[in-house]
């Protein structure tokens, strides 16, 4: 039985998160023996969105696929990059005609890995149904490979668990992102689909989901519409390592990732 290992890292937040990726990812790739690295980068540029320079540096740091979410549109200069770079994904279920694509297929060893990016609708935008769109794209990719990983960028655990059950046995793993808090509910279904509600963030320690705690506290205490700013501390690197049977596309093992950075 052939095996491949996918390393997926949670939302990269600000300069601290970027430094951690640029500095530590090559070594982490070796540590976890990762054959493919998927990183959600939607908060990489000062907490909201990405820019062309960060995208380039991510790929230079051994990232294979960059996923995103609702903040990917914050910097307009990313739009030409999304159109050109097929490994930079935005959620697939945005309206037809929106810049870029929400899925790609990457050659890994002697097989291929499909990566799909979807966004939830609960407490977010009223996008196309992630269940219908997700199923449609999964069936399309399954004609090429059974190894399919979904980054479901969503707020509500119910929506995440429901989509994982809807696609159970059709995909390798559904990995939740967006809330920046790593959950302890990672598991593998009887049909071989891995799941975790959220893999957490790669961002500054001693923060509130990556933001400066002083501003967040003042906002909560005063209820004033203060602008959040990214905290400037050293980062934690959070994510999940997924071991996959390359023939069946089923998840064999899952291991949470939580590494301390010192830059």
Angle at 86 between CA 47 and CA 12, to 5 degrees: 20
- Catalytic, 71? Answer yes
Residue 30 and residue 70 in contact, taking contact as beta carbons nearer than 8 Å: no
From the list 71, 153, 178, 180, the catalytic residue is: 71
Percentage of residues in the chain having pLDDT higher than 90: 90
The residue-averaged pLDDT of 57-66 equals: 97
Dihedral sign, CA of 86, 254, 162, 141? positive
Instruction: Report the Cα–Cα distance between both ends of the chain, in Å, rounded.
Output: 39
Residue 6 pLDDT exceeds 90:
yes
Question: What confidence tens digit (pLDDT) does each residue in 118-149 have?
Answer: 999 999 999 999 999 999 999 999 999 999 99
Residue 194 pLDDT exceeds 80:
yes
Cα separation of 90 and 113, whole Å?
Answer: 17
Question: What confidence tens digit (pLDDT) does each residue in 79-103 have?
Answer: 999 999 999 999 999 999 999 999 9
Whole-model pTM?
0.95
pLDDT tier, 47 (very low <50, low <70, confident <90, very high otherwise): confident
Write down the pLDDT at residue 164: 98
Question: What confidence tens digit (pLDDT) does each residue in 199-214 have?
Answer: 999 999 889 898 898 9
- What's the chain's average pLDDT? 95
Residue 1 pLDDT exceeds 80:
no
Block residue for tokens 């967040």 = 216
Spans of all domains in the chain: 3-204+236-260
Residue 132 host element (H or E): helix 130-141
Cα separation of 69 and 201, whole Å?
Answer: 13
Question: What confidence tens digit (pLDDT) does each residue in 140-188 have?
Answer: 999 999 999 999 999 999 999 999 999 999 999 999 999 999 999 999 9
Residue 73 pLDDT exceeds 80:
yes
The residue-averaged pLDDT of 42-67 equals: 95
Residue 153 and residue 120 in contact, taking contact as beta carbons nearer than 8 Å: yes
Tell me the CATH class for 3-204+236-260.
alpha beta
């Amino acid at each position: 039985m052939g095996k491949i290992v996918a390393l997926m890292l949670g939302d990269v937040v600000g300069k601290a998160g970027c430094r951690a990726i640029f500095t530590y990812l090559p070594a982490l790739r070796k540590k976890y023996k990762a054959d493919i690295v998927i990183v959600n980068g939607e908060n990489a540029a000062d907490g909201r969105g990405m820019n062309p320079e960060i995208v380039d540096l991510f790929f230079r740091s051994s990232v294979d696929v960059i996923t995103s979410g609702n903040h990917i549109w914050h910097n307009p200069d990313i739009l030409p990059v999304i159109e050109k770079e097929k490994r930079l994904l935005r959620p697939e279920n945005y309206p037809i005609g929106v810049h870029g694509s929400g899925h790609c297929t990457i050659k890994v060893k002697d097989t291929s890995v499909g990566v799909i990016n979807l966004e939830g609708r609960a407490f977010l935008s009223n996008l196309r149904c992630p269940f219908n769109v997700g199923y449609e794209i999964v069936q399309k990719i399954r004609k090429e490979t059974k190894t399919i990983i979904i980054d479901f960028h969503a707020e509500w655990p119910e929506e995440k668990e429901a989509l994982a059950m809807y696609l159970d046995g059709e995909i390798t793993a559904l990995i939740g992102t967006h809330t920046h808090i790593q959950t302890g509910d990672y598991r593998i279904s009887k049909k071989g689909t891995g799941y975790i509600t959220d893999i957490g963030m790669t961002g500054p320690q001693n923060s509130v989901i990556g933001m400066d705690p002083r501003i967040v506290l003042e906002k909560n205490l005063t209820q004033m519409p203060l602008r959040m700013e990214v905290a400037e501390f050293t980062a934690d690197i959070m994510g999940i390592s997924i071991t996959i049977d390359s023939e069946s596309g089923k998840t064999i093992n899952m291991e949470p990732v939580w590494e301390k950075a010192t830059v």
